[in-house]
Amino acid sequence: MSIPLWRALLMPHRLAIAAVFAGLAFWCAVSLRWDWIPDYAPLAVEGLWRTLWLLGASVVLGFLLAVPIGLAQAVGPWFLAWPARIFCTVIRGTPLLLQIWFLYYGLGSLFPTIPWIRGSELWPYLRQAWPYALLALTLSFAGYEGEVMRGAFRNVARGQLEAARAFGMPRLTIFRRVWLPQAVRNVLPTLGGETVLQLKATPLVATITMVEIYAVSSRVRSDTFIVYEPLLLLALIYLGIAGVIVAIFGRIERQVPARGG
């Protein structure tokens, strides 16, 4: 990283590669069919918004769930550590698609047979797909992050916690002010990578009738029989979102105080 970015990008061979890619993009723009875009633009914006809130909500909720799971595995008594470990193993050992279908079709076929659920206030929501999608993605993120947080909590230097205790901090304050911040800081790069992985998991919810951005592209394909154009644009959109996630986490990483000292 000694040379500045713009100069690294201006090296002759990179300019040549960039020219080739620009030519390719130009060829795509001119000779492929893009006339369907105006028709589907409103639906695509709606789908994009649905993808983004599903990603954001499942990452936040999943992380909140991952903290107690990681803590239970790192320092909890056996009757908390074991269930947490089994939860992580099951989530990480089975495909997410299977989990989504299990929740949607399994629970979805069980709920209507239970009278008090049918009569409850929540029933209108439970008949839609998004609660199951959000639940499945949240549990999945919690399972993977629970494992990350287990290592993170263990790797906080013992001297830090002993020092906090020596100052007479109550246990909850130690957790809130010392233990959790340092654990999260150490795994920030991992969390950024896992958030990108979570983004790549979101199109799976299209299989349970949720119309997010991937489902929109599938609809274009089945309506118009145009195969490559919607898929290429979709790949470009996901690349863009992944780039934004990486940039956000990079900014957060730069803001937290550096390690050591």
Partner 1 sequence: MTELLDALGLTQSVALLSLQPPGWGANLLRGLANSLRIAAGAFAFGLAIGLAGACGKLYGGVILRDLLAVYTTVIRAVPELVLILILYYVGTDLLNQAAAALGYGRVELSGVAAGIWVLGIVQGAYATEVLRGAIQAVPPGQLEAARAFGMPPLTVLRRVTVPAMLGHAMPGLANLWLIATKDTALLAIVGFSELTLETQQAAASTRAYFTFFLAAGALYLLVTLLSGVVFARMERWARRGQPPVGGSA
> Which residue number, 118 or 200, has a Cβ lying nearer to partner 1?
200
* Minimum distance from residue 167 beta carbon to partner 1 (Å): 32
In angstroms, the Cα distances linking 174 to 58, 92, 171, 244 are 27, 31, 5, 33
User: Which of 50, 179 has the CB closer to partner 1?
Assistant: 50
CB closer to partner 1, 14 vs 165: 14
Distance, in Å, from the CA atom of 203 to the CA atom of 210, rounded to the nearest integer, reads 9
Task: Pick the closer one to partner 1 by CB: 21 or 125.
Answer: 21
Helix residue spans in 94-157 (DSSP H): 96-101, 108-110, 115-118, 123-126, 130-155
Q: Considering beta carbons, is residue 82 or 167 the nearer one to partner 1?
A: 82
Nearest distance from residue 173's CB to partner 1, in Å?
Answer: 34
Contacting residues toward partner 1, per CB under 8 A: 11, 13-14, 16-17, 89-90, 92-99, 101-102, 105-106, 109-110, 196, 199-204, 207, 214, 227-228, 231-232, 234-235, 238-239, 242-243
Nearer to partner 1 by C-beta: 151 or 181? 151
Question: Please, what is the minimum distance in Å from the beta carbon of residue 109 to partner 1?
Answer: 5
Tokens 């299990």 correspond to what residue?
A: 102
CB of 83: closest distance to partner 1 in angstroms?
16
Residue 54 tokens, joined:
């599903």
The answer to whether 187 and 148 have CB atoms below 8 angstroms apart is: yes
Among residues 214, 72, 79, 225, the alpha carbon closest in space to that of 153 is found at: 72
CA distance 173 to 180: 10
Q: How many residues does the chain have?
A: 261
Nearest-10 crossing angle of helices 188-201, 37-75: 130
Tell me how far, at minimum, the Cβ of 176 lies from partner 1, in Å: 32
Q: How far is the CB of 30 from partner 1 (least distance, A)?
A: 20
Residue 103 contacts residue 138 (beta carbons within 8 Å): no
Question: Rounded CA gap, 151 and 161, in Å?
Answer: 16
